[in-house]
Amino acid sequence: MSDQGREQWIRRAMRLVAHRFRQNRWMLAAAIAAVLAVHIWAGGDTRTVAAVVGALIVVAGLAPSRTAGLLATEAEETANGGTRGLSGENLAAAVTDPLIVFDGAGAVVHANDAAVNAFGALRPGILLLLKFRAPEMQEMIQAVLFGHAASRQIDFIERVPIERVFRVTASAVGRGTGLYVMVFKDQSETRRIDRMRADFIANASHELRTPLASISGFVETLRGPARDDAKARDHFLQIMQNQTARMARLIDDLLSLSRLEMKSHLRPGVKVDLRGVVESVIDSLSPLARESGVTVERDFPTGTFEALGDRDELFQVFENLLENACKYGASGGRVVVSIGGPDTNAERETTVTIQDFGPGIPEEHIPRVTERFYRVDVETSRSQKGTGLGLSIVKHILTRHNARLSIRSKLGEGAAFTVHFPAAE
Ligand code: ADP
């Protein structure tokens, strides 16, 4: 053992002996008194008495006064400073949710940092009934304070500075401590996701119901007034066919989105030749380009351009972007597809840009066009066989590829959609 180790050991042993002396002091005093009483009453050798008292002192310094289990804790506490760090305040600080401890008068005893951040000043002594005025909070605090309920849980909406929804639980701390604790669980994100899901279902149902209503209307007309009108029958059947095609497109897009969501955490890891994918997209959409009166121009530098990805999904990305450029930017008469290598930008990204020269997108709509079912103009989208899901699918696929989409547009001059692939690691 080193000198320092020995010194520490001696100090620890002395602390333990002092601690046990303190614990056994009354027993020691009683034993010495008894020995002295016997000595005075019965007489005897003073040296023997001194030896007995000495032995008692040694025993008091060494003998454990409590049970074995407690002794282990005691030794540990004496040696390490023990669980002194396990104070209520330290525990409250370690909780990441807002937490407030209050007394039987409903006054704050302690609030952790998360609570102060969420609700502002919560100095000790502040009355919770004055701080939280919402009727549901008042009722819960009173119910717990008056012992109507051992613990209570409610949903509480804090509206300033921004709306947040908390699930609040209040309960007594242990038995007979006179203290109570209130914990706030932030539910805002869960609520937002629930609302998004409900909106999505409502939108999808609405999108399906519109063509369905149209088909059902035409079926009725064909069975009634138009029963014997061959010309009208052909016309209505054509409309019905278009509507079923629209429903099929919508269902395909919804399935695409759901498949992508299911594998959103999987990173595709095969090297894909971007030039090859873009070339085949341009080829496959040449009938649409021709129909729309659009010339597709290529601006590809020499060299190979690769990204880690899933070829079919990247095909879907460029197909959606080029299709939109031909449909919505047709009035510009041309679309330019360009590839930029890692040496063209500081981030060393590989980029693919699809630029049209049509009406462009008003600035305020740009941040929202990748949302599900968001269209700048619903009628134009419908007449172009749009589902309102194309750019949302693009965004999902790119997120899975660790890539991103940027949109630039000047009203009346066109729009440019750029896909940025991160530098290879
Ligand atoms: P849609 O099925 O309606 O085409 P998208 O998600 O692909 O759905 O696009 C969303 C909306 O963004 C479109 O309805 C359209 O209003 C707008 N948009 C997309 N691309 C262009 C473009 N190149 N020029 C003008 N507007 C566009």
Instruction: Please name the residue whose Cα sits nearest to atom 4 of ligand 1.
Output: 386
* pTM of the full structure: 0.66
Q: What is the pLDDT of residue 66?
A: 47
CA of 244 to the centre of ligand 1 (A): 22
Ligand 1 atom showing the smallest separation from residue 374 Cα: 10
Confidence at 29, pLDDT banded by 50, 70, 90: confident
Q: Is the distance from the beta carbon of residue 321 to the nearest atom of ligand 1 less than 6 Å?
A: no
Q: What is the pLDDT of residue 80?
A: 52
Q: Please state, in angstroms and rounded to a whole number, the distance separating the CA atoms of residues 381 and 248.
A: 16
Q: What is the pLDDT of residue 266?
A: 81
Ligand 1 atom showing the smallest separation from residue 382 Cα: 3
Q: Is the distance from the beta carbon of residue 256 to the nearest atom of ligand 1 less than 6 Å?
A: no
Residue-wise pLDDT for 173-222, tens only, equals: 988 889 999 999 999 999 999 999 999 999 999 999 999 999 999 999 99
CA of 54 to the centre of ligand 1 (A): 97
Q: What is the pLDDT of residue 26?
A: 76
Residue-wise pLDDT for 105-152, tens only, equals: 999 999 999 999 999 999 999 999 999 999 999 999 999 998 877 788
Q: What is the pLDDT of residue 78?
A: 46
Q: Is the distance from the beta carbon of residue 325 to the nearest atom of ligand 1 less than 6 Å?
A: yes
- Best substitution site from 375, 387, 407, 419 to test ligand 1's pocket, by max atoms within 8 Å of Cβ? 375
Confidence at 76, pLDDT banded by 50, 70, 90: low
Confidence at 72, pLDDT banded by 50, 70, 90: very low
Q: Based on the number of CB atoms within 10 Å of its own CB, is 142 exposed (0-12), middle (13-18) or buried (19 or more)?
A: middle
Ligand 1 atom showing the smallest separation from residue 358 Cα: 24
Q: What is the pLDDT of residue 355?
A: 98
Q: Is the distance from the beta carbon of residue 106 to the nearest atom of ligand 1 less than 6 Å?
A: no
- Best substitution site from 250, 328, 385, 398 to test ligand 1's pocket, by max atoms within 8 Å of Cβ? 328
Confidence at 41, pLDDT banded by 50, 70, 90: confident
CA of 317 to the centre of ligand 1 (A): 13
Q: What share of the chain in percent tops pLDDT 90?
A: 65
Residue-wise pLDDT for 381-395, tens only, equals: 989 989 999 999 999
Q: What is the pLDDT of residue 125?
A: 94
Q: Is the distance from the beta carbon of residue 377 to the nearest atom of ligand 1 less than 6 Å?
A: yes
Q: What is the pLDDT of residue 168?
A: 96
> Which segment of 1-10, 13-22, 337-346 scores lowest on mean pLDDT?
1-10
Average pLDDT over residues 319-332: 97
- pLDDT value at 396 more than 90: yes
Residue-wise pLDDT for 350-387, tens only, equals: 999 999 999 999 999 999 999 999 999 998 998 998 99
Q: Is the distance from the beta carbon of residue 250 to the nearest atom of ligand 1 less than 6 Å?
A: no
Q: Is the distance from the beta carbon of residue 207 to the nearest atom of ligand 1 less than 6 Å?
A: no
CA of 84 to the centre of ligand 1 (A): 63
- pLDDT value at 12 more than 70: no
CA of 320 to the centre of ligand 1 (A): 9
Residue-wise pLDDT for 404-419, tens only, equals: 999 999 999 999 999 9
CA of 361 to the centre of ligand 1 (A): 9
Average pLDDT over residues 241-258: 94
What rounded mean pLDDT belongs to the chain?
Answer: 87
Instruction: Please name the residue whose Cα sits nearest to atom 11 of ligand 1.
Output: 375
Q: Is the distance from the beta carbon of residue 332 to the nearest atom of ligand 1 less than 6 Å?
A: no
- Best substitution site from 254, 316, 324 to test ligand 1's pocket, by max atoms within 8 Å of Cβ? 324
Instruction: Please name the residue whose Cα sits nearest to atom 2 of ligand 1.
Output: 386
Q: Of 80 and 89, which is predicted with more confidence?
A: 89
CA of 91 to the centre of ligand 1 (A): 52
Residue-wise pLDDT for 162-177, tens only, equals: 889 999 999 999 888 8
Q: Is the distance from the beta carbon of residue 415 to the nearest atom of ligand 1 less than 6 Å?
A: yes
